[in-house]
Structure 1
Amino acid sequence: MPLALALTVVLALLALFQLALALGAPLGRFAWGGAHRILPAKLRVGSLVSILIYGFIAVVAWGRVGAIELFPQPFAVVMMWVIFGYFVLGILMNAISRSRSERWVMVPVAVVLAVLSFFIAMGYGELATAI
């Protein structure tokens, strides 16, 4: 469960960051390609959608480690691999950003999320293996 907790903490911090962006904080250089200091309306909506996605990812991760039973285990297993792929794609997308700030901050964050999701997808941290 420490892996799911670590993933959730990182996602919660990202959710706070996205909420700040959605509320107009001048942090746009760290997200969405870094082209806007303050995000336009469409990207603010995108930040709010990101928060929902982060919540879904956290729920899937907790389901994969067996802490909650919201989804059938086979669904959680498959979804964790999809989530891992999503974070790998995030590494690549952040790495090609024109924003140096986004590359320097978000690539390491995406790497951490990818590594954590990989180990969760592999089944490390399951309650059954901890008992």
Structure 2
Amino acid sequence: MNAVAVAALLQVVISLGVTVFQIAIASGAPWGEYTMGGQNTGVLPRSLRIGAAVSAVIMLAQAGHYLAQAGVLTPLLSPDWNTVVNWAWFAFTLVGLIMNSISRSKKERNLWVPVLLVSTVCTLLVALN
């Protein structure tokens, strides 16, 4: 297995882990300090829980995309669109890394910066391929 496939599969694991986290948040897990700026302690307000549910769907789509990049699934996109989406996912993770790096919540920074750093490297490796 080459480095790009390993990076894609690692990104799948990250995406699925984030999906589980977002589903837990959407279901009322009291982890508000670890997400969305960390300004809400305990259970997030309903509107932010809806946002977490939307995020879970987005992360599932990302997992599917990277399973295709690793050769586990058949790609749904043409090679040109696949390249565009690879770079879009890289930009998405880079923005997430920046936003979580400047979060006022130490708990959010401590949890997500390492995850997003690995995610950014993985998505970059796939995009460069």
The amino acid across from 1:42 in the alignment is S
How far does residue 64 in structure 1 lie from its aligned partner after superposition?
A: 3.5
Computed over aligned residues only, the root mean square deviation of the Cα atoms, in angstroms, reads 1.3
Which residue of structure 1 aligns with residue 118 of structure 2?
112
Name segments (4+ residues, structure 1) moved above 6 Å: none
Which residue of structure 1 aligns with residue 100 of structure 2?
94
Can you give the 5+ residue segments of structure 1 that lack an aligned partner in the other structure? 124-131
Which residue of structure 2 aligns with residue 25 of structure 1?
29
Can you give the 5+ residue segments of structure 2 that lack an aligned partner in the other structure? none
Q: Which of 72, 75, 78 is residue 72 of structure 1 equivalent to?
A: 78
TM-score, reference length from structure 1: 0.87
TM-score, reference length from structure 2: 0.89
How far does residue 23 in structure 1 lie from its aligned partner after superposition?
A: 0.7
Which residue of structure 1 aligns with residue 48 of structure 2?
43
Counterpart contact for 1:64–1:121, Cα < 8 Å: no
**Aligned counterparts of 2:79 and 2:117: Cα–Cα separation in 1:** 25
Which residue of structure 1 aligns with residue 8 of structure 2?
4
Alignment coverage as a number of residue pairs: 123
**Aligned counterparts of 2:67 and 2:127: Cα–Cα separation in 1:** 11
The amino acid across from 1:90 in the alignment is G
Q: Deviations over 1:21-70 (max 9, x none)?
A: 11111111110011112111111011111111112222222334444221
| % identity of equivalent residues | 34
Q: Which of 80, 90, 110 is residue 84 of structure 1 equivalent to?
A: 90
